C-alpha cells in the first residue's frame, strides 16, 4: 500500500491573484484543508492549502508559494496527496480507492477474473473497472457487499460473485 493517498486535484486558476480551483476527493470535501500541507505524487513538492470559498464543482483555494495567475495555471491537473497517517482510519467495510487499484479479482470458484484498473462512481455506487487477459472488454463490476463479499488487502485479492452474464 502506498503511503500517499490522492485527496484532490487542481483544475486551473481562479481569478488573477494566484488562487486555484480545487477539486476535493474526500468524503467530506472541506476536510482536504485539514490534511495540509499536501504534496505532489512524488512527495517532493509541498503545498500548504487554505480554502477561501466554495465554488461550482469544488473550492477556490490558496496554495503556499502560488502568488500569480500564471503560477496557478501551471499547476492545472496536478493531483494532490496526503500521507496515509494524516487520514482517518476507516471501518472494516470501507477502503481507499488507492488500496483497491491493482488487486487481483477472483470469482467464488477461485478463477482469476482480472485486475482492478480503477474505481469509478457515476452517481449510484462505486464500480470496479476490471482488465485482464480473459476479458474481451473492460468490465465494470458493482462494488457492493452482494457482488464483492470479500476484500483481502493483506493477500492482495478480491473475491467477487458477478451477476449472471456480466463476465
Work out the mean pLDDT of the chain and round it to a whole number. Answer: 91
Q: In terms of CATH, what superfamily is 97-160?
A: PRC-barrel domain (2.30.30.240)
pLDDT at 27: 84
The rounded distance, in Å, linking the Cα atoms of 107 and 29 is 35
Rg (CA), the chain: 18
Burial class for 70, CB neighbours closer than 10 Å (0-12, 13-18, 19+):
exposed
Q: For the domain 4-86, what is the CATH code?
A: 2.40.30.60
Least confident among 32-36, 51-55, 104-108, 136-140:
136-140
CATH 2.30.30.240 spans which residues of the chain?
97-160
Whole-model pTM above 0.85?
Answer: no
SS3 33: helix
CATH 2.40.30.60 spans which residues of the chain?
4-86
pLDDT at 134: 77
Amino acid at each position: 500500500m502506498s503511503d500517499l493517498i490522492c485527496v484532490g486535484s487542481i483544475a486551473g486558476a481562479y481569478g488573477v491573484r494566484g488562487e486555484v480551483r480545487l477539486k476535493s476527493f474526500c468524503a467530506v470535501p472541506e476536510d482536504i484543508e485539514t490534511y495540509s500541507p499536501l504534496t505532489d505524487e512524488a512527495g517532493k513538492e509541498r503545498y500548504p492549502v487554505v480554502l477561501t470559498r466554495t465554488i461550482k464543482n469544488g473550492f477556490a483555494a490558496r496554495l503556499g508559494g502560488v502568488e500569480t495567475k500564471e503560477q496557478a495555471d501551471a499547476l492545472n491537473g496536478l493531483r494532490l496527496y496526503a500521507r496515509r497517517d494524516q487520514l482517518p482510519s476507516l471501518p472494516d467495510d470501507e477502503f481507499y480507492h488507492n488500496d483497491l487499484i491493482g488487486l487481483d479479482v477472483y470469482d467464488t470458484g477461485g478463477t482469476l477474473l482480472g485486475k482492478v484498473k480503477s474505481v469509478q462512481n457515476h452517481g449510484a455506487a462505486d464500480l470496479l473497472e476490471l482488465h485482464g487477459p480473459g476479458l474481451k472488454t473492460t468490465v465494470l463490476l458493482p462494488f457492493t457487499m452482494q457482488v464483492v463479499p470479500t476484500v483481502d488487502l493483506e493477500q492482495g485479492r478480491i473475491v467477487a460473485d458477478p451477476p449472471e452474464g456480466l463476465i
